[in-house]
Amino acid sequence: MRMYDIINRKKKGNSLTREEIRFMIEGYTKGEIPDYQMSAMMMAICFQGMNETETLELTLAMRDSGEVLDLSQIPGMKVDKHSTGGVGDKTSLVLIPMVAALGIPVAKMSGRGLGHTGGTIDKLECFPGFSTGLSKEQFVQNVNQVKMAIMGQTADLAPADKKLYALRDVTATVDQLSLIASSIMSKKLASGADAIVLDVKTGNGAFMKQEADAFALAKEMVQIGKNAGKKISAVITDMNQPLGNAVGNSLEVKEAILSLNGLGPSDFMEVVYALGTELVLAAGKANTQHEAEEMLKQTIRNKTALDKFAEFIEAQGGEKTLVYQPELLPAARIQLQVMNTQEGYVAGIWAEEIGLASLILGGGRATKDSSIDLSVGILLNKKRGDLVHPGETLAVIYANDMEQAKEAYGKIVRAYQIQEDAPKQVSMIKGIIR
């Protein structure tokens, strides 16, 4: 079998066999197939596409390029949740303790933030001593004892995807649907959970800007999961403004704790309950959506989700007292109010611009090697649909450098879209693919 022949077949629009796809992925992972040939293949896929069978085989080949976690020592239906990334997305910090408080084991792999989107691991590191560098044995033990654990993605998990994504990133081949879906799903399938719920974001702050593209990606990933024998669903959620009011690691952790105390922003909690309902149903803990949502709400009312979050923080080496005293979490020195200058209603907030403003403050990474300031960020006082008057505060910037704060100020002002008439109410949930 020659890579030249496989490239030529795909270039002409032919379907690749399982053996050809395995040969290609295994050879590239081992360094036997050079970048220039794989680049040609990625471009051929961009032009010719892949069918359902090819996409599944590509996903499974990437999954099998490294270690596949064995979670068989954890009894019950293991669940996992994945977000395609957004601004102010601290969903896992609230959702997972709620689900775990119901006795459903959650075994989650998470990543760090890059660019204008935040990462779950960065947020959790606001707790001194907290670590996601768990051994596989510790990961399994924590899920068994606490019912939840979050681990950083290891180098052994789907190494083909890591290598392939780096190549696609520099060859303008990132945005092909089968390649995006197989990249995400190879890591999810390697993580070992029985049921997966995907949060596919759409809007100006999301990877998928257009709703139709988000639905297409969701359908593609759900089909892969189904064909791989997993229980899977995808919730398409709005990212045309930041989720909740807080953007920035420590600020988002504080908002998550507020949410676990029953004081979460309505747009944020709408997403949390939609995703949580899917997880509870997948685990077989409830028979209807209404029943599942009521069970989740009860974990907030009786504080079992809050206590579960504290237990989880302590189990992974963190200082759990901060869950009950969030004012002790990292705090920035400077607070700068962003003032409104016109009368009207907030029609929208460009989420990506808010994310970039947080990046300017030091709250995100421009590159994988950038260090971040956990204390900085933005608190949004006004959201879509709010009536605003001149002189009112739109947002508060939390910074440790005044020059950075002033630069972020301009971005935040431009991110707010103010109009004369009240905008139509928008649901955070655009649809669910099962």
* Per-residue model confidence as pLDDT tens digits over 169-228: 899 998 899 999 999 999 999 999 999 999 999 999 888 999 999 999 999 999 999 999
- 286: DSSP letter: -
Nearest to 397 by CA among 367, 346, 363: 363
pLDDT of residue 154: 73
- Give the list of residues 6+ apart from residue 176 with CB closer than 8 angstroms, or none: 42, 45, 46, 49
Give the largest CA-CA distance in the chain: 70
Residue in 82, 90, 188, 201 annotated catalytic: 82
Q: 102: closest CA among 236, 302, 268?
A: 302
DSSP per-residue string spanning 46-72:
HHH---HHHHHHHHHHHHTTS-----T
Q: Catalytic: 116?
A: no
Q: Which of 22, 168, 188, 285 is catalytic?
A: 168
Q: What is the pTM of this model?
A: 0.93
> For residue 264, is pLDDT > 60?
yes
Based on the residue annotation, tell me whether 365 is a catalytic residue of this protein: no
Query: Which of the residues 110, 182, 183, 186 is marked catalytic?
Result: 183
Measured distance CA(90)–CA(41) in Å, rounded: 37
Pick the catalytic residue: 116, 187, 365, 411?
Answer: 187
Whether 368 is a known active-site residue: answer no
Could you confirm whether 389 is annotated as catalytic? Answer: no
Q: What is the mean pLDDT of residues 104-122?
A: 79
- Give the pLDDT band (50/70/90) at residue 338: very high
For the question of residue 187 being annotated catalytic, the response is yes
